Structure 1
Amino acid sequence: MAGSKSPTPCGCFCFSRASFAWVGATLLLLADWVLLRPALPRICSLLMPTELPVLRVWVVGLSRWAVLWLGVQGVLKATLHCKSESARVHGWLAALEPLAAALGLALPGLALFRQLDSDRDADSTRLLFWGSRPDAFFLTYAAALPAAALWHKLGSLWAPSDHGDSGDKVRQLLGCLGSEIRRLPLVLVLLVLSCVGEMAIPFFTGRLTDWILQDRTADAFTRNIALMSILTIASAVLEFMGDGIFNSTKGRVHSHLQREVFQAVLRQETEFFLQNQTGAITSRVTDDTSSMCESLSENLSLLMWYLVRGLCLLAFMLWGSLTLTIITLVTLPLFFFLPKKLGKWYQSLEAQVRKSLAESSQVAIEALSAMPTVRSFANEEGEAQKFRQKLEKMKTLNQKEALVYVANLWTTSISGMLLKVGILYIGGHLVTRGAISSGNLVTFILYQIQFTTAVEVLLSTYPRVQKAVGSSEEIFEYLNRTPCCPPSGPLTPLEMEGLVQVQDVSFAYPNSPDVPVLQGLTFTLRPGEVTALVGPNGSGKSTVAALLQNLYQPTRGKLLLDGKPLPQYEHCYLHRQVAAVGQEPQLFGRSLQENIAYGLVQKPTMEEITTAAIESGAHSFISRLPQGYDTEAGEAGSQLSGGQRQAVALARALIRKPRLLILDDATSALDANSQLRVQQLLYESPERSSRSVLFITQNLSLVEQADHILFLKGGTVCEEGTHQQLMENNGCYCAMVQAPAATSE
């Protein structure tokens, strides 16, 4: 039976590979302890002179690194063949390479620190050999494991991933800095110098403590206070310069990012806007983009500053006391584990909050844009209740976010207090034994407090970075999305005739691919002729208009303009030659002059705007307005009536002097005088011979003079001819003309 099938051979194979990875790592550990620990120091003691102990330690460390690296490569190659396990197994195996490097460099680095410290015995480096001090073996692992984990984590931020994880998102966030990223090296240099200067206060505080206890002279005291003050002031100046350079780029980055996102949205095909709600798109372009910019400015600044500061502090702590530094580093996993888990939860909650915000914005936009309908149905309270429901959902998610934030803050605070108590206790014992001086202990405690603060800030910033990653997911989907529409073509001929050929065109909308709208449609639009397209609602007339504007691509067949497919024409050029006016044209909240000239690369003269308005019948009511052509149309043309919007939209099309003019029920809201003017424009205008016209209307009285009439039904042309021919056929067209509703708008 299907349910009783045994595991596949591939599954067993993958299981053995995963097991081998663990076995291989364990064998490397044993080899490091049993073979490398006793053998390498002895070999180097025979080959290297005893007068150069630091050099001997470095040769041992580098040799250890090389041998471990070869073993790691063998383990990695043995597990690469298992595809299903590679992502999971290599998640930790990839950290073995930086671990091998850290193990090899840990002892040489510590030896170099001791050698440079003039207060220590230079020959103390011999105590770091594994043969004489086996505990040094465990010391190297205690120091190498956190370093390897940190290196692997930072490296994963830049490594590409097939799963689109947060590392890829962080790389893209930094990539959004664009050309401004070249300023970061200068900022980092200033931060390093500033952090080094800031170390003067703890350093001199410890030294002054020793001098006070030893009754040193007042001159040395004053001299060191002055030097500390100079270094502190220099540190503040350098920090100010770094912050100034960094903050000066924030505004440019914000504008650059919003522009890129908005342009990416504008490049998408028409189906994209049908499948995504306007409120959701608006939320991505505005709210989510602002959140990303906030993370790239404030949080990135905090990360850079406290990371550099933490590394400088760690170096000075190693210089001061190796034992206390190791104790501090061993506690670091307590700082990393819980914040990492909470950060993932925080990221998930933020994505849910953004989705909920987009949904509530969509409810508000729909209600506010249709207020006459809401009021006419007395559904104000219903819309308010629906909006409240969305807000309640978002309120619950915000409360969970707050809980995660408090839990993260509490865990880091408790860990920090326990660490301070432990350092004071162990440091006191070291002072009583004479291992370090009282001043060095004071200096180390000040370093350690600042280091712990830096770690706490980094860990508190990490969830906010995760929050930005959660909110940026949809934005990067927009930025990386390739439009399904064909790219702009190269054709921009100087002369165009305006001959349109629709050849065996079929079409179905992408969201309903099984519902054909047009089927085998074929007809021709000729210059100087008016072709009327009529038919019942839902027959596909508006779809034909959309296809001729290159808003969609036919699923079959071709649309030719002067014998060339529409996609082969350059985008702006094509839409100068093809102009359309719909039943409910969209105007913008700008002046009427700007609406008429909308989309033209070269700004038209006022005379050209007025001429187009006169042709469309818009000049008569525009001239009566107090501000004339400078009058604001209002949001979506709300300050104008339906007929006035159609007249302005018609002027917007005519000013282009198109070779193909499409009127898609564009006279439905016009009064009798305006409709008469449109008839004169179509049939008596001097420019009639220079353009093809596709006239789509339900008012059949306006198409009687058309040169050619197409009756569309079910996505196909079932009748065609002149008005007289179709009336004589006594078919569908004749029945529609004679229907009582034919004379109505």
Structure 2
Amino acid sequence: GLGTHQYTTLPRTQGQLHMLSLSLSLSLSLTHTHTHTHTHTHLDGSDNLLRQWLESVVRCVFLYGVLLPCEDAKRPVVKRWLLAHCFIGPVWETGRLTAFGNFPLAKVDTWLVGSVAAALGCLFWETLLPDSSEERNGKDKKQKARVLFMRVVRFYKPDYLLMIGASVFLALAVLCEMFIPLYTGKLIDILGAEYHRGDFQTAIIFMTLFSFGSSFSAGCRGGLFMCAIGSFIRRVKLQLFGSLVRQDVGFFEVTKTGDITSRLSTDTTLMARAVALNVNVLLRTFIKTIGMLYLMFSLSWKLTLLMLMETPLTGLLQNIYDTHYQRLSKEVQDSMARTNDAAGETVSGIRTVKSFNSEQSESCRYDDRLMDTHNLKTRRGTVRAVYLLVRRLVDLGMQVAMLHYGRQFIQYGQMTTGNLVSFILYQSNLGQNIRTLIYIFGDMLNSVGAAGKVFEYLDRKPEVSTDGTLQSEKLKGHVSFQKLNFSYPTRPDHNVLKDFSLELKPGQMTALVGISGGGKSTCVSLLQRFYQPQEGQILLDGQPLQNYEHKYLHSRIAVVGQEPVLFSGTVKDNIAYGLSNCSLESIQEAARKANAHDFICELQKGYDTDVGERGGLLGSSQKQRIAIARALIRQPQVLLLDEITSFLDIQDVLANCPNQTLMVIAHRLKTIEKADQIIVIEQGTVLEQGTHQELMEKKGHYYKQKERIFDRA
């Protein structure tokens, strides 16, 4: 051994290792002493078991006290080793005495008890001694999932009657189904013993009644649950769509169309499943499990305890499987959204695709997205296949053990053959039920993951507020841009408008001119409240735009864009878009003001002609005139014309809007010449302003750049 001086000169870590070796020696000597005592004395079984537990506790406390000064003592792996070393013995003995009493253990029994003890140990430390950071993140995710789950439950409030009715029928179906194996075993005992006609007929009648009651109740349960799911999906989709259309334009610029359509189509359905179908399965399985356990204990409590030994191992397998499967499911969901987005972009821009001969490249891009999704699904399927294989091997081992000990109990007269058949029927269902109970929680967390994305959109507040309440009875249409600084959400570091000021007077036409990208269309977007400027404000009759009620503001300000968007439907529907109870006379009057009435009457069905998707059945000039009619029918006080290409349409609008504020963005000199004031904009700032004649006489920027600013036609 080491002397005192030698021990004191050892480093701290080596000294602790020496103490650890001494403690292990002491621990082994205690175990040896206990084994020797057990072999040569005749102690009572309960006293012996109690002594093992006390010795294990003392050993654990002693070893932990020795290891406590070490920095590594707090690591989960050290604690796991310490607990396994100290308590595996008493756990083994407790399980053996509980399940088998004083029966001598065969090799199969030893293997079974050892496997169960190891499974219990794994489940214990995975639950109580997790790897710190990763497990904490997992617990946080589960807590968030529970919160989301309760939100989904509250969404089912209008369908509570359907859910309660479905739950009642579910309980009836389970109770009826539960007694069928019991009467099956009774029939076997009746046929195997002395035959009694009355007992046989009674058992048959009860089996028939229970079978019919189970089938009828199950059908009613399924119908009510499906009705509740359908009502929930319709309601959530409506709320989600309403929340989406209320978002600001910047939201749609940074959010892909595929993500939005995936939330509307796929995730809302998963939300419904998260509660209705999962609660259906959960309640049915829970009630059936409790009832089966009661009946199985009444048949053989020893076989029931043996069967329950499978549960810890099944729970551990299910926990590992859920972790990997949920992660891969989320990746598959995101990959499908990217695939839908790629297809949507190609279809919406099909003209560009064809003009650049990019059909093959788009097909390749879509194939790459599909392959990514396929690979993720393959990995997810592999995880599931391995899990099912291991789980079925565990099932097979448990069934072999059940038959082995069932045969012994029949030989000892502890149960009948019919009872064993009933028990095996229950056991085959109960194992599946326990796995379902464990699985269903993981599946709920997977489903509410989709709900989280839906709630993210439902809870999002638009960056552009629509809470204004002001509605002026006599709006004049005086618009003032005051020292605006603005950048788009997609390019926050690039200022489109810089200290920008502008005034639009009632009854006058203001023309914005300048080279492309100078900020002209941005002024139109800000005046429509599509965005919120970072600095400065826009006043309408002296009041900030955000103070006006949203619907009122957009009825007083109308816009016609460079490429107007029409919706599928008739010409009449597109002119009256957004208006209710609009008469045909007012629609025709607006069309006459826009110089569109004549060509509409020449169409096959006149005002009832379908314009096709996005107005594809009409020419660009025809779509523009219908868009002008759609603006004029509202009788707006402020009218914005963004890049209108038809000179004739501009003249018609000017003639029909004598008292309105008119702002025009155009590249035709003949249109600009009639403006009351011309604003020259470049790089987000006002360079010059005045009438055409004044600006030409100045011979400044407007005069020098007119060849670049205006079209020659």
TM-score clears 0.5: yes
Task: Give the whole-Å Cα distance in 1 for the aligned partners of 2:651 and 2:282.
Answer: 68
**Do the aligned partners of 2:593 and 2:652 also contact (CA within 8 Å) in 1?**
no
Task: Give the whole-Å Cα distance in 2 for the aligned partners of 1:308 and 1:482.
Answer: 43
Aligned-residue offset at 1:556: 0.9
Task: Give the whole-Å Cα distance in 2 for the aligned partners of 1:514 and 1:186.
Answer: 58
> Residue 688 in 1 paired to residue 658 in 2?
yes
Alignment-mate amino acid for residue 421 of structure 2: V
> Residue 614 in 1 paired to residue 592 in 2?
yes
**Do the aligned partners of 2:467 and 2:550 also contact (CA within 8 Å) in 1?**
yes
Alignment-mate amino acid for residue 672 of structure 2: V
- After superposition, the Cα gap between the structure-2 partners of 1:185 and 1:629, relative to the gap in structure 1 and judged at 3 Å, is same
Unmatched tracts of structure 1, length 5 or more: 1-84, 93-109, 111-137, 150-155
Task: Give the whole-Å Cα distance in 2 for the aligned partners of 1:664 and 1:213.
Answer: 93
Aligned-residue offset at 1:232: 2.6
Unmatched tracts of structure 2, length 5 or more: 1-73, 81-97, 99-115, 128-134
Deviation per CA, 1:662-715: give whole Å up to 9, x if none: 1111x22x2xxxx23422421x32x421x2111111223202121222111221
Task: Give the whole-Å Cα distance in 1 for the aligned partners of 2:546 and 2:558.
Answer: 16
The residue number in structure 1 matching 2:684 is: 715
The residue number in structure 2 matching 1:133 is: none
Task: Give the whole-Å Cα distance in 2 for the aligned partners of 1:231 and 1:372.
Answer: 65
The residue number in structure 2 matching 1:732 is: 701
**Do the aligned partners of 1:190 and 1:239 also contact (CA within 8 Å) in 2?**
yes
Q: What is the total number of aligned residue pairs between the two structures?
A: 593
- After superposition, the Cα gap between the structure-2 partners of 1:585 and 1:171, relative to the gap in structure 1 and judged at 3 Å, is same
The residue number in structure 2 matching 1:237 is: 216
Deviation per CA, 1:82-112: give whole Å up to 9, x if none: xxx9xx9xxx9xxxxxxxxxxxxxxxxx9xx
Give the alignment of 1:21-420 within 5 angstroms.
Answer: 165-215=144-194, 217-293=196-272, 298-420=277-399
**Do the aligned partners of 1:202 and 1:447 also contact (CA within 8 Å) in 2?**
yes
Aligned-residue offset at 1:507: 0.9
Task: Give the whole-Å Cα distance in 2 for the aligned partners of 1:215 and 1:162.
Answer: 61
**Do the aligned partners of 1:288 and 1:475 also contact (CA within 8 Å) in 2?**
yes
Aligned-residue offset at 1:577: 1.0
Percent identity over the alignment?
A: 33
> Residue 524 in 1 paired to residue 492 in 2?
no
The residue number in structure 1 matching 2:102 is: none
- After superposition, the Cα gap between the structure-2 partners of 1:569 and 1:242, relative to the gap in structure 1 and judged at 3 Å, is same
Which aligned runs of 4 or more in structure 1 are off by greater than 6 angstroms? none
> Residue 563 in 1 paired to residue 576 in 2?
no
Alignment-mate amino acid for residue 637 of structure 2: R
Aligned-residue offset at 1:461: 5.8
RMSD: 3.3
Give the alignment of 1:482-497 within 5 angstroms.
Answer: 482-497=461-476
**Do the aligned partners of 1:191 and 1:238 also contact (CA within 8 Å) in 2?**
yes
Aligned-residue offset at 1:455: 3.3
**Do the aligned partners of 1:528 and 1:688 also contact (CA within 8 Å) in 2?**
yes
Aligned-residue offset at 1:734: 2.1
> Residue 703 in 1 paired to residue 641 in 2?
no
The residue number in structure 1 matching 2:491 is: 512
Q: Secondary structure at the match of 1:359?
A: helix
The residue number in structure 1 matching 2:633 is: 655
Task: Give the whole-Å Cα distance in 2 for the aligned partners of 1:648 and 1:341.
Answer: 61
Task: Give the whole-Å Cα distance in 2 for the aligned partners of 1:480 and 1:294.
Answer: 21
**Do the aligned partners of 1:581 and 1:650 also contact (CA within 8 Å) in 2?**
yes
The residue number in structure 1 matching 2:455 is: 476
- After superposition, the Cα gap between the structure-2 partners of 1:651 and 1:160, relative to the gap in structure 1 and judged at 3 Å, is farther
The residue number in structure 1 matching 2:71 is: none
- After superposition, the Cα gap between the structure-2 partners of 1:203 and 1:724, relative to the gap in structure 1 and judged at 3 Å, is same
- After superposition, the Cα gap between the structure-2 partners of 1:585 and 1:304, relative to the gap in structure 1 and judged at 3 Å, is farther
- After superposition, the Cα gap between the structure-2 partners of 1:539 and 1:314, relative to the gap in structure 1 and judged at 3 Å, is same
- After superposition, the Cα gap between the structure-2 partners of 1:193 and 1:287, relative to the gap in structure 1 and judged at 3 Å, is closer
Aligned-residue offset at 1:294: 5.2
Task: Give the whole-Å Cα distance in 1 for the aligned partners of 2:443 and 2:473.
Answer: 55
- After superposition, the Cα gap between the structure-2 partners of 1:203 and 1:538, relative to the gap in structure 1 and judged at 3 Å, is same
Q: Secondary structure at the match of 2:220?
A: helix
- Between 381-390 and 219-228, report the one with greater CA deviation: 219-228
**Do the aligned partners of 1:347 and 1:469 also contact (CA within 8 Å) in 2?**
no
Task: Give the whole-Å Cα distance in 1 for the aligned partners of 2:139 and 2:482.
Answer: 46
**Do the aligned partners of 1:498 and 1:659 also contact (CA within 8 Å) in 2?**
yes
- After superposition, the Cα gap between the structure-2 partners of 1:214 and 1:363, relative to the gap in structure 1 and judged at 3 Å, is closer
Give the alignment of 1:419-438 within 5 angstroms.
Answer: 419-438=398-417
Aligned-residue offset at 1:652: 1.1
- After superposition, the Cα gap between the structure-2 partners of 1:588 and 1:220, relative to the gap in structure 1 and judged at 3 Å, is same
**Do the aligned partners of 1:586 and 1:637 also contact (CA within 8 Å) in 2?**
yes
